[in-house]
Each structure stands twice: as C-alpha cells, then as structure tokens.
Structure 1
C-alpha cells in the first residue's frame, strides 16, 4: 500500500491519524525525484501524488500489473485554468492541454514505468474508489492479470464551483497492489446491496472521516476497524479487511 495526503505519508503517520493523534495539515509537494526533470516540471501536484504512491507499490510488484487509476474530478484544477484562458481570449497551451485529461496520471505512469499492458482511468462519482476496486477484482478473477495496481487520487473542485465538500483535504492519493485472494497475505473485500435491504443488516455506521470513502478503507488497512459502509447513490457498499495471522 502507498498513501499520501497533506502531511501524512508513512505507515506510522497513518496509524497516528487513525488513533486521533495526527491531523491533516500542510501542503508539501510530493518528492518525485525518481522522475526525469522535464516530466516533473509538467506535472500537477495531483499527478505527482498519484505517481509517488504508484511508484512505491510497483517496487513490490512481481509481474507487470494492470493499472487502474480512479479519480472523481481528475486534473480539474488545470482544466479550469484552461477554461479561464479561453474566457480571457488567450491562446491555450498545448503542453497544459495534453496533461489536463482524466487519464493523465495513468498515462504518465505507463510511460515512466515502461508498462505497455492494461491501463484505464475510472470516474464514478462518490463511488469512484469502489468501481476501481471492482475493475481490479474482475481482471484478477478472470485471469486477465496476476496483479493489479489500484490508484485513487483526487482533489476538490475549484472554489468557484461553490460545491465544497466538508472535510475533503487539499489532495489525496492511495495506491494498492492487489492479487487474487488465497495467495497469502491480508485480504480486502468489497460487497454491496440495495439500500432498501440495509435495515435488516444492522451494519454499524462508519465514523465521520476526513477523506471521503478512501478514509474508511484506510481505517481498515490500519486495523482500526474490521468493516465499514459507504453510501452510494443506489447501493450501500461494505468494505471488510482480514489481516493475515
């Protein structure tokens, strides 16, 4: 696992956060010294975060993994800047436009890591992380891939859109290197059901979390919970985590 958010990057940091001993603070730019200087200069802070956690996980890969990048808003900060340039009658920068698309981080990761296999970018609203995980599970369980790298990365929309999301930090990137169940190690599972059938399940409500649905998964991975629920538009998603003995 690799995870990076404002001021928190190490496993000890995340355990402290889960125990309430650390807060989300600071705006440090991720260290991407592993990338060529020319590539670093073109990257946004969000792409730097995504490639940092992806690079950390890829060091543990034993085969060429499928790449599944998921983000709700993607490079919208850069896209908004381009829209402002258009409104002001200014010429658009081809370099900026080329890295404003939704699969920017996935493409940059494929190029830098020399991965020519499966790569995709997913956006599914508040359920983006869940659908990214489902794509990974499908690839693994059908034998299309022996390993799958799931990278969730997001930032809130620019303030001009007037849609603040309480508790959403300035940016978040989470990467998980996934393999099929039964190969040893910890197991992360995802189930879902129609909301109408939830009442009988008596599931515990998830604690308020500062980093949207990814925060619930982080609580599982830091072993501060066994399972948690996340409300989608139509479904209730249930994450569970079983650490290896």
Structure 2
C-alpha cells in the first residue's frame, strides 16, 4: 500500500511538499493523535505552507476525530484567516503557531496538546522531565517549561512562548499543555508520540524510586545510529496502516499526491 508522498528529510523525498499532501498529513496526524488520547477534544496540528508566511490549521470548533483536508484553514503569521470557509475561526491559540513560525525558519509543523501525565512534570518542584527512552534524543537540549499557564490567545503571549522555546524542539506550558515542533508534519506526529511515551516512562520511574535518566554519553551513542528519515517513515507506515484498519480515516487518504 503506497503512502502519500512527502518530505521527511530523506534523500529520496521531494524538497517541498504540496499543499494537498500537507492537508492530508495534518488531517491524518490530527485524527491519529486524537485516537491515541494525546490530542483529544482540544489541541491542534499545523503545517507551514510553501513560501513560509502562511500555514494550515484546523478550525476552532471542528472535532479532532472528524477533521478532513477540506476543513483546514490557511492563516497568515498575524493569525488572520486568508483561505477557508467564510466565518469559520481558527483555534484561539493560533498565535503560538504564528509566532513560532515567524521566529523559527527550521520549524515546518507544530503540535499543541494537553496530555495530563506529561503535564504533571510542570506541577511539582525539582522533578524535571528528562530523557528516559532512546527516542528522547530529540530533546537532549532540554524541554523548557513556560511559567504562564494562560491560553496563548494573543501575539504577545505567542512571543513569550517563543522566548521559552528558544532553540528546543519541545516545551511545556505550566499546568496547561505541550508544544512540539519539527521539520515535517509526520515528524511532529512521531515526536509527539515519543514525548508522551517518554513522560509516561519517567512518571513510572519516579514512582518506583530514584530515577536513572539517560546520560549524555548514552544519548550521544543513540545519536550516532539514529536515522530520523527512516524512523519517521517506519512509524508513519505502522500508525497509518493501523488507523485504516481501525477506521480512523479512509485508506484513500494514504494515496494522495
């Protein structure tokens, strides 16, 4: 079964994905994360469009379990809807997407969600979320915590998020949720899954006794053998084929341009 063509930082991938393929990837990632109880009733996945100054994001009131390619809005970096169904609003926290895309040219996709176990690490003193699983090498530089739990509902708060995120690939908002960034939509989906897996492993480790997170040397050893493009393709195939079997989305979506 052929999956839709997409850039994933591998030599055989096209340099720039089409808007059609991005719409499919955002829709599939949203439904997948919802089915895995990561996104659920709130949260959103976005994708930067070619050109860099606009992005795709789901409407505010569309169920994450039902979002489709044609539902997605096109927003500019000021949060204004420039294409989509008239009168339909973007998520109230659209500004976190706007400001991250404005500040980080390396970021082409963003996921924001509210996973309870992951969020627990923002609610206690001196218990940081550290790398406990090998795929947590993605966050070897750290997972910062933004101190303001408020919804990111204006550009100023969006710029505060950017300041906390810095050069990292994931962050937490205290008592609120998570933000994951990546170079592709499929990458942001896989990273979101791994962030939650890592948090759940850390939670169990802390509950058993003194934790032993991965050392810098161990992380470095994983880095030498880790092929990100291959890893993304492998897991995307695994999760999408399972989603077709479970009727999360139709098989036709995986053969798009």
TM-score range, shorter chain: 0.3 to 0.5
- Per the normalisation by structure 2, the TM-score is 0.32
More strand by share: 1
More helix by share: 2
